Amino acid sequence: MQKQPLIILCICFILGIFIQEFALFPKFWVGFLLALQMGFAILFFVKNLFLQKLKPFFLGFLFFTVGVFSHFLNSQNPRLPLLNDKEEIVFSIDKKLNSNEKNRRFEITAWKGGEDFKSVVSIPKSVLSPDFSHYYKGMAYIHKTEPPKNDYQFDYKKYLARKKIYFQAYLIDGYSVAAKPRLTFSDQIKQKRLEVLNKIDQASLKQSSKDFLKGLILADRTEMDASVTQDFTKTGLVHFLAISGTHMVVIFISMMFVLKRIFTKKFHKIAIILSLIFIWLFAVFIDYGSSVMRSCLMITIYYGFVLLQRKPDLLHSMAVAAFVLLITDTHQIFDVGFQLSFIAVFGIFWLDHPILNLLPRPKNRFQTFIFQVISLTLSAQIITLPLILYYFHQFSLVSILANLFVVPFSELIIVFSLVMVVVLSLNISSLNTIYDFLVDALLKTIHFFAEFKVTFFQHIPFTLIEMVLLFTAIFLLRSVLTKKNAVDILRFGFAFLLFLAVKFCLDIFSFNKNDVLVHHLYKDKIFSVKQHGTVYFWVKQNISEDLFKKNIVSPYLSASRGQEYKVFIIPVDAESVMFRGVRYRLE
């Protein structure tokens, strides 16, 4: 605990959260753990050599119990109002979500009978889009969120519950509008951001440039074309569309670059402080999303060491940022973005220098920059691979190459995009033309990489144990790259072979396991038979092919470790299907 006390204590705190999540200690046991910890705390003041040696363990247990207690408090279910299937509700908009072909979707706070509750609402696109400066009243179909009917599917109910949302609603006809008598500071910021988004929509830019600009700088991808998003997904560049650490670091460094030319070297601390203030103001303006807050906190803590004339420590910065975020909302640890962000930062700390040392010695600044991009990209890509496979069950071999092409270009386009938002009202045609050209070139480059379908693998089966074993092997990779001795190579080799052996056993077990299932897709039922590596689906004529592939095929193949699938179309009124001499009822 002497070298990295903060990161170890943070891990203890996180373990407490996980234990409470899965063990669900009742109030009595949570109280017992706290009482036990108070007893250990008294021992801190006992002058005994043996007890002094146990102090690090007592401190670790303290953070563990704080994690249990914090998650216990955050997991209390609120009292929910009793609602009919069809209700007239008053609501205000909290957040804009991704739209679909027919509806816009929002997170709302609604009121009914004097009680308030949070919900996700779908509003037809034919209705005027709501804003943050009004209250709305209308009839809506409303129901509690439901767990997935198929156990291999994403649990949307639990996802929403972590955000304290327990209802879903659909607005029927329209709504009446009333201006809010007084806007909160948060509403004012959200409304101003919405106005800027509307200005972008009215700018003389290509539609693809408008969507890209809104996503890159204002964290709004709600209207982005699905094919563009798919290209970013296939190339492993989705992080470039979200406001993440890369964006905030680029914006911070750009501000530092400008301010250090204004202030003399004697006042460089002022440049750091002003740059930090700027990124926090920017974070507030774009609705302080989770990824933005993570980035701002880590940058602030890291440069806090610099301002205090202490040696900056990346792991300390990461641990403090994680603790601050989790103590306010322990549910964030279950957010995929949270996990990927911190694992990527750890990967940069753990593998960046070993990989950089393997590359040729740079001869000039340009080579230094390129090699640093390569090492940073490889470090983040390698360390996050187990999580990506576990959560998304897909991977593109071309993603590393695509990142190497796009990441150096990203600094230019992020800064240019920020300038475009600032000067948008001036409508400078030359800047619009240049920006259209840059975005068009970037999107074509990404589409070019996405077209390498041979390198894109999906439906990759990957369980928790496989993720842990692969991450262990990658953790041991550092010693192989730095020390290069036989013992470290053997350790890495054993860990990697153990991962392959477990994966092989799971593949064989799943190949020999046959299943007959009825899947639920909204109100429709889909019948399937899995025989060895092939899954046969019977689908009714009226079912959307895209929804079927997204909600049934992809998750089921990943969960069942199926290698291929075949689809048979059956009539809408079919009640049973025949497969190899056996008749199955659709129940």
Report how far apart the first and last C-alpha atoms of the chain are (Å, whole number). 57
Task: Specify whether the CB–CB gap between 385 and 470 falls below 8 A.
Answer: yes
Q: Over the stretch 96-123, which tens digit does the pLDDT of each residue have?
A: 888 777 888 999 999 887 788 999 999 8
Q: For residues 320 and 304, give the distance between their C-alpha atoms in angstroms, rounded to a whole number.
A: 12
- Measured in degrees and rounded to the nearest 5, phi and psi for residue 146 equal -115, 150
- Helix and strand totals (H; E) in the chain: 20, 14
Q: For residues 32 and 54, give the distance between their C-alpha atoms in angstroms, rounded to a whole number.
A: 21
pLDDT band at 50 (very low <50, low <70, confident <90, very high): low
Give which of 190, 213, 173, 201 is closest to 131, Cα–Cα.
190
Q: Over the stretch 493-518, which tens digit does the pLDDT of each residue have?
A: 999 999 999 999 999 999 988 888 88
86-182 fold: OB fold (Dihydrolipoamide Acetyltransferase, E2P) (2.40.50)
Q: Which two tokens stand for residue 16?
A: 């407490």
| Helix residue ranges, H only, 237-267 | 238-241, 245-262
Strand, helix or coil for residue 141? strand
Q: Which two tokens stand for residue 508?
A: 């064989």
Q: For residues 125 and 491, give the distance between their C-alpha atoms in angstroms, rounded to a whole number.
A: 58
Give which of 409, 439, 411 is closest to 206, Cα–Cα.
439
- Sign for the pseudo-dihedral over CA of 75, 78, 84, 86: negative
Outline where DSSP puts E strands in 404-479: 456-458
Q: Over the stretch 280-336, which tens digit does the pLDDT of each residue have?
A: 888 887 766 677 788 888 888 888 888 887 777 788 888 888 898 898 889 999 988
Give which of 250, 142, 150 is closest to 525, Cα–Cα.
150
Q: Which two tokens stand for residue 245?
A: 């650490």
Q: Which two tokens stand for residue 74?
A: 């955050």
**Predicted confidence (pLDDT) at residue 371 exceeds the cutoff of 50:** yes
pLDDT band at 2 (very low <50, low <70, confident <90, very high): low
